[in-house]
Amino acid sequence: MSKITPLKKKPPHPKIAFQRNEMNLILDVYGRLVMSGQAKDYAIGAHKDQAVFAIFRRHAETPNWTVVKTPALARMQGAYSVLGAQGQILKRGRDLKQVLTVFETRKFEIVR
């Protein structure tokens, strides 16, 4: 009789996600954008190489701002970045609180 070996499942790739203190900082900024009428919806994504928090003016559009955490870039450019609507990097750095100051220094308005 032949010997049967059980199949071993590969462990799933670990996903990168925002920690609780990082989410508190991001949601504080998001709340201020909602109060000023500049944001109405958000989406969170956890992927194997980065975590994404997208802020939308309306839910059917592309995100106006995206906060991205990429730990692989922590030693080079910084793990955190804020992207604009067309994908341009508004601010990048190692400290999330410092990166989120981009929302303090500018008054964002949607240009149509």
Spell out the domain ranges in the chain. 20-105
**Which amino acid belongs to residue 89?**
I
Query: Can you give the pTM of this predicted structure?
Result: 0.80
What's the number of CA atoms in the CB half-sphere (13 Å) around residue 76?
5
Q: Which H, E and C letters describe 1-59, residue by residue? A: CCCCCCCCCCCCCCCCCCCHHHHHHHHHHHHHHHHCCCCCEEEEEECCCCEEEEEECCC
Asked if 68 contacts 52 with a C-beta cutoff of 8 angstroms, the reply is yes
What is the mean pLDDT, run by run of 10 residues, along the chain of 112 residues? 71 84 95 89 92 87 91 88 92 93 70 56
Residue 109 is predicted with a pLDDT of 58
**Which string of b and e fits 11-27 if b means at least 16 CB within 10 Å?**
eeeeebebeeebeebbe
